[in-house]
Structure 1
Amino acid sequence: MTRAGDDIATAPIDLAIARIRAVYRNWNRDTTVARMRSDWDAAFGGSTAPVKYERVSAGGVDGEWIIPADAPEDKAILYFHGGGFRIGSVASHRELLAQIALAGGCRVLAINYRLAPEHRFPAALDDALAAYGWMLDQGLKPDSVVFAGDSAGGNLVLAAMLALRERGLPLPVSAVLMSPWTDLAATGASYVSRAEADPIHQRPMILALAKNYLGGQADPCDPLVSPLYADLKGLPPLLIQVGDRETVLDDSVMLADLARAAGVDVHLEVWDGMIHVFQMFGAELPEAHRAIASIAGFLNLHLHIKTERASS
């Protein structure tokens, strides 16, 4: 609340935006990829959540278990972080991962899949599939695993499920997508209609990240590159969360429409006034806490963790 003569109070969403811009403003054309990655990890990597962390090699892919107290060993989330296939890591997402693990009462395995430009498509997808195969080799059942990811990680969630389906391999029981990047050709109308509202992501930046990932060798409309162009029939239930201010809003809205048309059970949440992957900003945004609570409800619907605890 403000009083006469006071400066207008800073809105919580503006605090989140300021955190992102504080990182971006230090970058220019000469900034190395290594510097971008270390800056991003440093800006978003802290967490004091009461969970246990265990490093692991998941089928040869560097990963980390995030384990809340009393989490069942026979259920898990496999998480793919965002960052445009260029930056981001388990470290940069550790607080978000911890909050999802705590809210859902479930272990999370997050992986550091290979990033571009050093490792272009399909390296990240290969790592995602290797990690899932490793989880199954450890004794986890497909109906006890949920895939989850944000932005480029949401792309990997979908691409991995499509690849598994095409190979006749078992799919996870469900999937959670936060601001998923589903169209590397960036054709959605929201790239224009939300250009002024989105404080960070514009279409030229999105296309540059796509080129960095593909290296001019792959078709941006390949379904395993852009799941928006896939036949989505047979995918498990999806929870999609996206902010209303995002240029990539239509990547979620169009995906939800196509998935429903293909007979997929889809729940789409469009969060008013929110930005790309707003769930990462729990320190600033009450909406982030509510969104994670919604994710926890979806996890319980499919993994039945809280239901089983209540009946035991």
Structure 2
Amino acid sequence: MKINAMWKQYITEAILKAAIRTPSQFTLPPTTLRIALEQMCRVFPVNKEVQIRPIRLAGLNAEEIKPQSSSTQLIFHIHGGAFFLGGLNTHRALMTDIAARTQMQVIHVDYPLAPEHGFPDALDALYDVYQLLLDQDIQAKDIILSGDSCGANLALALCLRLKENQEDLPSGLILLSPFLDLTLTSESLRFNRKHDALLSIEALEAGIDYYLGNRVATDNPQISPLFDDLTGLPPTLVQVGSKEILLDDAKRFRDKAKTAGVKVEFKLYTGMWHNFHMFNAWFDQAKQALTDLSEFAHQLDQD
């Protein structure tokens, strides 16, 4: 029996709030939350149209996901999880969908997580992966740097580090449900608090504490890249749901980046919660987001 779209969304949000958002509001050990998240992500179907190959990159476990046809562009994706959750298992299904939709190769890695590894370990490790890709004769113009949630934070911070070092930048940036301001001053944190089915402020606060402790100020541009000089960034796609507590992180980035002369494509998806892209098997808005992502990536390829 086909479920009405409204009821399907209502039921899904209720399940997410009970299984993910509510537990994240309590002080549970990171390992417990990691196991719970991995178990939940098993429901996401892996796309069978692509090939998955385990690899090692700069000392990290990684996966290379390839469409059946040859591809010229490579998407280097950095997973989210508030700096202490997520990995290959949680994001594999989404990565296969992105590879199938774009017909581009996707690389994603298990970077060092907090609290075992605080700032700047994750960023340093991802920088090493990017340099290794270049050492393997992959040109920067053929790399699209992508990330979701805190992975978008790390993707943007990595791009800004490359710019500061006057190194070759990727051809584009893709920021999905980005978490860019660790000072937690975005207004949407409050007005969408009851509407975001997946992400809680408490989870962000725990992640920040694990990631930084008392060692680094949350307004440091390396931590909160929203506060950095965005001039010179490559074309950037930002996708966010209207119910996200991080909605204003995305909007503020859009406005500041455009002022800095960056070519920004901003997409808002009505009724969607944090990291809604992972639910593309069931929701039209999430399917549309992957279509929009693919169009953006192919435009970069043409340019």
User: Structure 1 CA distance, aligned partners of 2:202 and 2:6?
Assistant: 32
Asked if structure 2 preserves the Cα contact closer than 8 Å seen for 1:179 and 1:240, the reply is yes
Equivalence for 2:33: 36
Q: Deviations over 1:189-214 (max 9, x none)?
A: 11222223223434343223212111
Alpha carbons of structure 1 residues 26 and 245: separation in structure 2 relative to 1, 3 Å: closer
| Corresponding letter in the other structure for 1:15 | T
Contact between 1:16 and 1:285, CA under 8 Å: does it hold in 2?
Answer: no
Q: What pairs up with 1:76-155 in 2 under 5 angstroms? A: 76-155=74-153
Distance in 2 (alpha carbons) for counterparts of 1:129 and 1:187: 28
- Work out the number of aligned pairs and report it: 300
Normalization by structure 2: what TM-score?
Answer: 0.92
| Partner residue in 2 for 1:60 | 59
In structure 2, the CA distance between the partners of 1:296 and 1:13, relative to structure 1 (3 Å rule), is: farther
Aligned to 2:232: 234
Offset at residue 185 of structure 1 (A) = 0.5
- Answering whether residue 8 of structure 2 is matched by residue 11 of structure 1, we say yes
Distance, in Å, in 2 between the alignment partners of 1:167 and 1:222 is 18
Could you tell me which of 189, 209, 215 is aligned with 1:191? 189
1:96-129 alpha-carbon deviations (Å, 9 max, x no partner): 1111111100000001110000001111101111
Instruction: For 1:280 and 1:82, locate their aligned partners in 2 and report how far apart those are by CA, in whole Å.
Output: 11
Structure 1 gap ranges (5+): 308-312
Q: Secondary structure at the match of 1:293?
A: helix
Q: CA deviation at 1:182?
A: 0.3
CA deviation string 1:34-76 (max 9, x = no partner): 222122112114533121111111122221101111132x420
| CA deviation after TM superposition for structure 1 residue 26, in Å | 5.9
Paired residue type of 2:62: G
Q: What is the SS of the residue equivalent to 1:260?
A: helix
The corresponding residue for 1:206 is 204
1:20–1:130: structure 2 CA closer, same or farther, 3 Å change rule?
farther
RMSD after superposition: 2.3
Identical aligned pairs, as a percentage? Answer: 31
Residues of 1 paired with 2:232 and 2:153: CA distance?
A: 17
The residue type paired with residue 77 of structure 2 is Y
CA distance in 2, matches of 1:163, 1:118: 23
Q: 1:135-158 CA distances to partner (integer Å, 9 max, x unpaired)? A: 111111000000111000000110
| Structure 1 counterpart of 2:67, one-letter code | P
Letter in 2 for 1:10: W
Change (3 A) 1:22 1:230: same
- 8 Å CA contact 1:159–1:227 kept in 2: the answer is yes
Give the counterpart letter for 2:29 in structure 1. Answer: T
Farther off after superposition, 40-49 or 282-291? 40-49
Q: SS of the counterpart of 1:92?
A: helix
CA radius of gyration, larger in = 1
Q: Distance in 1 between matches of 2:294 and 2:6?
A: 32
* Cα distance change on mapping 1:98 and 1:210 into 2, 3 Å: same
Residue 54 of structure 1 aligns with an amino acid whose one-letter code is R
Which amino acid letter does the alignment assign opposite residue 60 of structure 2? V
TM-score (structure 1 length as normaliser): 0.90
Shift of residue 19, structure 1, vs aligned partner: 4.0
Give the Cα separation in 1 of the matches to 2:132 and 2:17: 34
Cα distance, 1:280 vs structure 2: 0.4
Contact 2:24 2:202 in 1 (8 A): no
Amino acid at match of 1:248: L
Instruction: Give the counterpart of 1:264 among 253, 262, 280.
Output: 262
- Structure 2 CA distance for aligned equivalents of residues 178 and 47 of structure 1: 20
